[in-house]
Amino acid sequence: MIKVLVVEDSPVVREFLVHILGADPGIQVIGTANDGEQALEAVARQRPDVITMDIHMPKLDGLEATRRIMETYPTPIVIVSGSTDPREVSTTFRAMEAGAVAVLRRPAGIGHPDHEASARELVQTVKLMSEVKVIRRWPKAGRQPELAPPAQAHDAPIEAKARVVAIGASTGGPPVLQTILSALPKDFPLPILIVQHMATGFTQGFVQWLAQTSSLPVHLATHDERIRPGHVYVAPDEFQMRVERGGKIVLTKDEPENGLRPSVSYLLRSVAEVYGRDAVAGLLSGMGRDGAEELKLLRDRGATTFAQDKESSVVHGMPGEAIKLDAATFILPPEKIPAVLTNLAHNRK
């Protein structure tokens, strides 16, 4: 049984979440908390396997509660938010900086057409996150992992002229993307295309959150937009994103791939077709295998590719599948990726 603590200040929403989670035979809701202070006491006393966390609460909000829990009793925390206002969502993503492992929209009410699907997503996320090994976040560990094994690193086709960067991520990806973008120099010359799997309604706030710490302009991609050097483009909700010759972004309602829209596979396949060996592409933390085969396609065409290492990934599904396929030129922790991208962008080894 997975032991869950539900933290939510609204009595109605709290009971709603308890009902959804408690209906699954593999989950036991061992307690609830009305605010962050109660949450800290309950975590110390009951040691749950997973916590669902509201953000806006009295006494101690969800952001500060997350910080303190990760300092004392590190536990997988899933942020369950009822707001999709971009400014509030941006605040929600700060909880991921503090150590939360996932952000979900609150399930739709009983009788709503989306109720069953959104309730199922909450249950599945809680179950998956119960298997995640979290670490104490403050102070940050001074880990300095190695780069890829030498044989892989030496295979990088550095002589190719990089023209674009494409990155795919899912669960655990947002703070890694923040780490990468915040460390890139303001004169970074390449456009960056990103597909981040995320609950519908959160992407605009995610873009605003990334922009707060990036010296590069970060945009929600729009249809028929011309790709500009040194700009970051994030795929919007419910659209597939691809690139076309001439440096243009195209958004479509094409079918989901790997059950996903936007799909990393869809983007990377177009990058392989348009840019070939002149692309740099990578997969970050995330469940599933979206983009793994397409990353291999890119590497086979001479592109430089990378995958996040297992030690730093919340879920090593996507990058792990790519590594199994020998699709990654480099295997990197997040803090090493910006330097590699900068060197490739300037055609340096």
Taking the model in full, what pTM does it have? 0.87
Q: Do residues 22 and 47 make contact, with C-beta atoms less than 8 angstroms apart? A: no
Task: Give Cα separations from 137 to 5, 7, 95, 96, 297 (angstroms).
Answer: 20, 20, 12, 11, 36
Orientation angle between helical segments 292-300 and 264-274, nearest 10 degrees: 10
In whole angstroms, what is the distance from residue 27 CA to residue 124 CA?
A: 10
Residue 49 catalytic? no
In order along its 349 residues, the chain shows pLDDT tens digits of 999 999 999 999 999 999 999 999 999 999 999 999 999 999 999 999 999 999 989 889 999 999 999 999 999 999 998 876 767 777 788 888 888 999 999 999 999 999 999 999 999 999 989 988 777 654 444 333 333 343 333 334 445 579 999 999 999 999 999 999 999 999 999 999 999 999 888 899 899 999 999 999 999 999 999 999 999 999 999 999 999 999 999 999 999 999 999 999 999 999 999 999 999 999 999 989 999 999 999 999 999 999 999 999 988 999 999 999 999 999 999 999 999 999 999 875 4
Which residue among 9, 49, 290, 309 is the active-site one?
290
> Looking at the chain, which residues constitute the CATH 3.40.50.180 domain(s)?
150-345
pLDDT value at residue 137: 56
Q: Which pLDDT score, from 0 to 100, does residue 99 have?
A: 87
Name the E strands within the chain. 2-7, 27-33, 50-53, 77-81, 102-105, 164-169, 192-196, 218-220, 232-234, 240-244, 248-252, 279-283, 304-308, 330-332
Q: Which one is catalytic: 118, 170, 270, 312?
A: 170
User: In the annotation, is 316 catalytic?
Assistant: no
Q: Where in the chain is the domain with CATH 3.40.50.2300?
A: 2-129
Return the SS3 of 122. helix
CATH class name, domain 150-345: alpha beta
Compute the distance between CA of residue 292 and CA of residue 325 in angstroms, rounded to an integer. 8
**Which residues are within 8 A (CB) of 11 and not within 5 positions of it... i.e. 6 or more apart?**
none
Of the residues 9, 35, 61, 197, only one is catalytic, namely 197
- Integer Cα distance of 281 and 162 in angstroms: 10
Say which CATH topology domain 2-129 has: Rossmann fold (3.40.50)
56 in active site: no
Contact 51, 25 (CB under 8 A): no
Neighbours of 55 (CB within 10 A): 25
